[in-house]
Amino acid sequence: MLTQNAYTLTQAIKHWGKDFTVTRFGTNEYGEPIGNIPVGSFRGLFHTSSRYLNITLQESAAVSTAKELRLLTLSTDKVQQGDTVTLDNRKYSVTGTDDVGGLHLCTDISLQEV
């Protein structure tokens, strides 16, 4: 079953996915900034998910929703929080990564537009 899921995910990313690059701010051995260094190029499915924010207003509460930008890619440990993703000539900051289901099959990358 896991093999079938891996194959299905691979085919979906291959067919509908988008290419993106990841860079990371680097420093030399003296701690001086050297600019962005490339981490790698990947392919993934760009999607959104809803996150819920509770906002308390005096004696009542209002719940508002916000869309969270995400990229689903094959499992990788190269992408870290704080990296920069370039997708369709737009830059995003990585706010977190998640190994979906703990299966080491795919990684869901949370993004915030810069």
pLDDT of residue 113: 92
The tens digit of pLDDT for each residue in 67-91 reads 889 999 998 899 999 999 999 999 9
The tens digit of pLDDT for each residue in 50-61 reads 776 656 565 565
The CATH number of the domain holding residue 40 is: 2.40.10
Q: Is residue 28's pLDDT more than 60?
A: yes
Secondary structure string (H, E, C) spanning 8-45:
HHHHHHHHHCEEEEEEEEEECCCCCEEEEEEEEEEEEE
Q: Is residue 110's pLDDT more than 70?
A: yes
- Quote the number of domains for the chain: 1
| 15-32 average pLDDT score | 94
pTM of the predicted structure, to 2 decimals:
0.82
- Domain span at residue 84 reads 1-113
